[in-house]
Structure 1
Amino acid sequence: MAVLRFWLWALVLAAASALAKPGDPFFKKLNEKTYQLGNDFWNVTVIGGFGKRLMYNGVDLVGNASGHYVSYNGAANNLSWNLSPPRIVRKSGEYTDIMFSAAEGDMHWVLTPTLLGAYQYFVNRALPRLGEFRTLWRLSNDTFTHGWTTERDAPLARLAEMQEATQKTGDETWVNAQGVSFTKYDLSTFLPNIEGEPTVWGIYGKMPKSGEGIGSWYIHGGKDYLNGDHLKQELMIHRESITGDAVQLNMIHGTHYQARSNDAFAPGKTWGPWLWYLNNGSAADALARARTETAAWPYPWHADERGYASRGALSGSLRLSDGRPASRAAIFLGDTNATAPTLDQGEGYYYRTYAGADGSFHIAHVRAGNYTLHAWPGVGSGIGDVSTVFRAPVTIRSNGSATALDALSWVVPKHKPLFQIGALDRTATGFGLAGGRHEHARARGCPAALNFTVGVDGMEKWCFAQGQPGTWAVRFKAGPGDVGPATLTVSLAAYSAGASAGVYVNDERVGELGPRTLGPGDPSLYRSGTLAGEWRFLEWPAKVREGENVVEFRIAPNSRDKANAANIAMRGFMWDSVLLRLN
């Protein structure tokens, strides 16, 4: 496999070499605070902590924008490369590794003679405990007019639209003169972080005067340094609302859709290498390059003393205790002894895949170390009634050998379900208005009152989000053999604080959905989320009687509703599953 990856990388270089015959990459000190690096195709001038001048085909792609920088906790802390002079730390016939050092850590640019762009990686030295850590480009708003993610290929909002908006209704959210809301969060997407899948996003447009197409892309061949599980979503691109810069985010430790993410990193924790890539603006070319990078990962040219090359493979097979295979289960390798949910884990390295129809799974190129394997029903799995999570310790040895787990048994409770609305897959898949692209305020389309009759209504009648004052009711009939003590399971795909609901079974209050039971809210509903956010799971005892029964979720009006009428539907609950079973 290592030989194959080497030849894949060689093919990448050969394809680029066929375009031209340039000289070596260069690195120049212009003065005590200014440095320039690049090759015969592009170069960037770094002043202090910022890459301020990016030249490509005779055009400065930064212009009046902020350029390239690294920061944590939003824009509150921008790294300054003043710990020691930038320098070349490694050089070979094919690549030049240039390091910029800050008190928090080292940012590396890896250049080759023909590469349009650069590989980058960051090595922690003393980052504080944080939630958000990113690299980014802020490029010319005249040149970069469009953005591309796996969900959208669309124009960026124009600065004039933001300036002319009649009202700002939330975080980077406005209402224009026509009464239409728009927000940067519509350009969010689920981060493609499954092992073996291409990961790419970018901004593109046309260069002034020549009209030549130009695109700037982030491509992640590896994903193990990224935080979160399969349902991690992030803001990738947007228009900056003060200056109009076209913003290309690289959220290597992101928190845009999480309730909590506050991690401490060991010295030497490394993010990357990833590829920052320039082309003619073609998304198809960027996606093809992403497939090549994914196949070549982990890169044979990158080596360090921190375990990058010390890897092994993991395989196993998972079956439920009732005999069913764990078909399409989500498989996650995460931290040992972690109390944080899988979405919020971010201190180490992480691996994500899905089991096959027979419950088997395989993950290649896992860093040596100790992990906890987690499994839960994935979207479209045949085990959406399973309310438990499988966990098991896993050790990957440092000698590069494969780790084959014994047949794993996932213990699931025996119970008699009376009804279930929605699979327990941590998403709102299948509910009314759920899924598709991120879209602002879609929850406003969900009703204040809803009546669902088991055996009559399809799950699409159950809207994906409840936030308005009112009652949602599930009605069902129970025969003589279906009465007695029961358990009501409520699983939420997300919860945005601002609404609370009493939970009733046959007019008896059994529980509550709100901050006291769900903890801090996540921003998914008011940041254009339509499918998932921070998963919550609750169970309460209930009693089922013969004949007619009703389960209700009642949101009472409060004094804030009238003042906040436009946004009230975007606060509340995004549904995953409602399950009632006899004990």
Structure 2
Amino acid sequence: MMMGGKRLSVSSLGAWFCIFLLAVRVEQSFQLQDGILNRKFLGVSHSSSSNSNYAVQLQIQDKHVILDNGLVQITFTKPGGVVSVIKYNGIENLLDGHEKKDRRGYWDLEWSRIGQRGRYDHAVGTEFKVIKESPEQVELSFTVRWNPSNGNSFALNIDKRFIMMRGSSGFYAYGIYERLPGWPAFDLGNSRLAFKLNTAKFHYMAISDDRQRIMPTPQDRSSGQRLNYPEAVLLTNPSNPDLKGEVDDKYQYSCENKDNRVHGWISNTNQSVGFWMITPSDEFRTGGPLKQDLTSHAGPTTLAVFSSSHYAGWDAVDLRFVNGEPWKKVYGPVFIYLNSVSNNQNAHKTLWNDAKDQMRTEVQSWPYSFPVSDDYPSSNQRGTVSGRLLVQDNQEFTFANAAYVGLAPPGQAGSWQTQGKGYQFWVKTNEEGYFTISNVREGDYNLNAWVPGFIGDFKRDGDITITAGCDINLGDLVFRPPRNGPTLWEIGIPDRSAKEFYIPDPNPRYINKLFVSQTSNSEPSSSSNKFRQYGLWERYTELYPYQDLIYRIGVSDYRNDWFFAHVTRNAGNSFQPSTWQVAFPLANVNYLGTYTLRLAFASATNADLHVRVNNPQADGRRFKVGLTGRDNAIARHGIHGLYWLFHFEIPGYLLVRGTNTLYITQSRCTSPFTGIMYDYLRLEGPSGYHFKKSR
């Protein structure tokens, strides 16, 4: 081989190869500095890479503030703190220039006072301050303060912070929310950071590996047919004919907190550009790891949701403040990340994979060391809690494998689902039940857990006080899930979701193709996201037009025979209650004993369940759940909302040898979305009861 006019020997080639590998590793090491990943070797660029060493520049003008690090330039309104312009990769503005300046990159919130209707407001700052200015980093503050003389203002201070770093292809944002003693009662609903992107450039959205697609435009939605609620639109004449006849609904793109790490949009310019929202931690979010919320949706819009009542109910989440109640919380930081690649067949995949890599870098860097606020503690100001969780059920001990274990503010078992005022920290146990929860903020917490395969919530007795640098080992903890006797029969899997039950194919008139797997003959087949299709609640009446569902223990299969949602029956001009039956055999009955029926709900919306035994008209002996739930997960394609667990003691004399029947009536019928999604049902015999178990 000739190189530079010289012939190279085999040994020389080996030396050159080693040098080449060393050079690649050095290049890669220089591309990962200060938690900022530059992936030129993957074909991903961050504007002009030669500008990555520029110092961060700050320009303060009369009505605007500009941050520029040579890769990204951001313009804020002053003192409002609204992001009005984002310049990147030769594009003058990634945001929607047709929107008003205060509706491009903004904080907003929904709130109310006692006796007043809910209001929607933008958090527009009235004070501007430079927190830090150096060649490496600039941090800005835009603060909106409560005005007690204005009865229409929210009783809350919000300090909106933005950070730009040298060499960073993006910027960070976080908010410090505060109430002082003596302030009036106030309810905080939704609070978020939103970006409205350039409608002419951004058409492709990515939420996860299996949820990515070309999206409809705002004009496509406005010209479409509104369905049962405003968010759901049937696209009747879209600009992209491939979308005609599909349903678009922002709730179809919701995500559980634990999975909501990165989402965003990709432009279709000559140089494809990605705009990504990266959330490295759940510690500040409402409701723990299973809480669902919005991500990105048609607009094109990208959100960082900080607090929300979605999939829980406005009266369930605890962001309700009484008169005089003080409070402070830090939401974020989140990272708005930008990347680009020359257009090719794999542009979407390349940018998405790069965004995931950047997300992992941000997660590993949490908690960040650079925010300049005493309210955001660094790693050495936090503590650690560890231990092992065991499960004792039926006198047997097992390891709590893949259990969710978390620290949340003190409260009753399971109350972490609706907590939003404080912080939460969750991990999953390993195969032997061990867990370590790191980087916990100072404060008092309860240790909570739930274990897939078992009903109920675990809460360790007593508070745990976290101080800076503490390392607390709790040793072995034992969760004893509710049980009074042996299992006679069960329906479903106790996993806090209805996903294992029968989810029908959608009505062909209301399909979102993203959630349909295609077979070779182009017929719809199964999809892990099938539950996200619009209108599935309507299929119940179609599948059971004359008689409600009957499930026979030992014969029926919950995967095919148990409809995923216990909803109302559509009678044309009205909605009617529906009564499901569970028929089960008993070879022997202990007439003096007590049987236990356990019902675990994965979701409930304005539901009231009545259970009768062997007599559908026996009002004198019925079991009532009572009005339950407002999570609206049926309408919002959630497959679960809040978890509920109910226990009913059934006297043995109500049962018979042979076939017995439970009549389970969802008695409220105010809308097509009123109903329940079950997680799991189980009948237990009296203690010491011997039986032959049925499937």
The 3 A distance-change label for structure 1 pair 12 and 35 is closer
- Residue by residue over 1:216-262, the C-alpha shift from the partner in whole angstroms, topping out at 9 and shown as x without a partner, is 111122221112122111111122xxxxx411111011222112224
The aligned residue for residue 472 of structure 1 is 580
Deviation at 1:133, TM superposition (A): 0.9
Superposition deviation, residue 50 in structure 1: 2.5
1:314 aligned to which of 385, 388, 395: 385
Stretch moving more, 8-17 or 35-44: 8-17
Which residues of 2 match residues 80-91 of structure 1 at below 5 A? 80-82=124-126, 84=127, 86-91=128-133
2:27 corresponds to: none
In the alignment, what sits opposite 1:548?
659
SS at match of 1:362: strand
Secondary structure at the counterpart of residue 36 of structure 2? helix
Structure 1 gaps of 5+ residues are 1-6, 240-244
Which one of 115, 125, 134 corresponds to residue 168 of structure 2?
Answer: 115
2:648 is the counterpart of 1:582: no
CA contact (8 A) 1:98 1:108 kept: yes
Instruction: Give the match for residue 238 of structure 1.
Output: 297
1:17-55 deviations in Å (ceiling 9; x for gaps): 965344222222221x32222322222222235222222
Per the alignment, residue 203 of structure 1 pairs with 265
Residue 132 (structure 2) pairs with residue 20 (structure 1): no
Q: Residue 556 and residue 132 in structure 1: after superposition, are their counterparts in 2 closer, same or farther (change >3 A)? A: closer
| Shift in Å, 1:346 | 1.0
Q: Which moved more, 1:355-364 or 1:42-51?
A: 42-51
Deviation readout 1:511-543 (Å, 9 max, x if unpaired):
235xx331x4211111122x2112222222223
**Matches of residues 141-156 of structure 1 in structure 2 within 5 Å?**
141-150=199-208, 152-156=211-215
CA gap 1:179/1:397 in 2 versus in 1, 3 angstroms: closer
Alpha-carbon contact 2:256-2:290 (below 8 Å) kept: yes
| Correspondence 1:426 to 2:537 | no
Q: What does 1:488-527 align with in structure 2 at a 5 Å threshold? A: 488-497=597-606, 500-507=608-615, 508=618, 509-513=621-625, 516-518=626-628, 520-527=629-636
Cα distance in structure 2, aligned partners of 1:502 and 1:408: 36
Provide the C-alpha distance between the structure 2 equivalents of 1:416 and 1:115, rounded to a whole number of angstroms: 59
- The partner residue of 1:348 within 400, 422, 440 is 422
| TM-score for the superposition, normalised by structure 2 | 0.73
Q: Residue 149 of structure 1: SS of its match in structure 2? A: strand
Distance 1:173 1:232 in 2: 21
Contact map agreement 1:326 1:358 (CA 8 A) in 2: yes
User: What is the letter of the counterpart of residue 467 of structure 1?
Assistant: V
Specify the alignment match of 1:70 in structure 2.
107
How many residue pairs get aligned? The number is 544
Shifted more, 47-56 versus 387-396: the winner is: 387-396
User: 1:501 Cα deviation (Å)?
Assistant: 4.2
Partner Cα separation in structure 2 for residue 340 and residue 320 of structure 1: 17
How far the C-alpha of 1:496 sits from its partner, in A, is: 2.3
Cα offset for 1:12? 2.5
CA distance in 2, matches of 1:357, 1:38: 48
Cα displacement string for residues 69-127 of structure 1 (whole angstroms, at most 9, x for unaligned residues): 11111881111111x2x232123452211111111221111111221110111112339
Between the aligned partners of 2:108 and 2:584, the Cα distance in structure 1 is 53
Partner of 2:153: none
Q: Which deviates the most, 44-53 or 175-184?
A: 175-184
**The residue matched to 1:185 in structure 2 has which SS?**
helix
Range with greater deviation from structure 2 (465-474 or 173-182) = 173-182
Q: Would you say the 8 A contact 1:311–1:398 is kept in 2?
A: yes
Q: TM-score when scaled to structure 1? A: 0.86
Do the aligned residues in 1 keep the contact of 2:276 with 2:338 (CA within 8 Å)? yes
SS in 2 for 1:170: coil
Determine the C-alpha separation between the residues in 1 that align with 2:457 and 2:164: 48
Name the structure 1 match of 2:333. 273
Q: Check conservation: 1:8, 1:295, Cα contact below 8 A.
A: no
Q: 1:495 touches 1:534 (CA, 8 Å); kept in 2? A: yes
1:4 equivalent in structure 2: none
**Is the 2:58–2:138 contact (alpha carbons within 8 Å) kept by the matching residues of 1?**
no
Distance 1:203 1:354, change over 3 A: same
The structure with higher relative contact order (CA 8 Å, sep 6+) is: 1
Pairing of 1:165-564 with structure 2 (within 5 A):
165-177=224-236, 181-192=247-258, 199-207=261-269, 211-239=270-298, 245-259=299-313, 260-263=316-319, 264=321, 267-280=327-340, 282-302=351-371, 304-306=373-375, 308-309=377-378, 310-321=381-392, 322=395, 323-337=397-411, 341-378=415-452, 383-384=453-454, 386-387=455-456, 389-412=458-481, 413-433=483-503, 436=529, 438-446=532-540, 447-448=543-544, 449-460=548-559, 461-469=561-569, 470-480=578-588, 484-497=593-606, 500-507=608-615, 508=618, 509-513=621-625, 516-518=626-628, 520-529=629-638, 531-543=639-651, 544-555=655-666
8 Å contact kept, 2:413–2:458:
no
8 A Cα contact 1:169 1:175, kept in partner: no
Structure 1 residue 371, shift from structure 2 partner? 0.6
Structure 2 residue aligned with 1:125: 178
Q: CA deviation at 1:351?
A: 0.9
Judged with a 3 Å threshold, the aligned counterparts in structure 2 of structure 1 residues 199 and 340 are, in CA distance, closer, same or farther, namely same
SS at match of 2:371: coil
Between structure 1 and structure 2, the one with the greater Rg is 2
Letter in 1 for 2:213: A
The 3 A distance-change label for structure 1 pair 158 and 18 is: closer
The offset of 1:319, in angstroms, is: 1.6
Q: Aligned partners of 1:171, 1:344: CA distance in 2, in Å?
A: 26
Q: CA 1:160–1:541 in structure 2 vs 1: closer, same or farther (change >3 Å)?
A: same
Q: Which residue in the other structure is 2:693 paired with?
A: none
Cα deviation, residue 290, structure 1: 0.4
1:416-464 CA deviation, whole Å, 9 max, x = no partner? 1111112332211311119636322223334442121112222212121
For the 8 Å contact 1:13–1:114, the answer to whether it is kept is no
- Return closer, same or farther for 1:155/1:545 CA change in 2, 3 Å cut-off: same
Identity of aligned residues (%): 22
Residue 38 of structure 1 aligns with an amino acid whose one-letter code is D
Q: Match of 1:107, as an amino acid?
A: K
* 3-state SS of 2:389 partner: strand
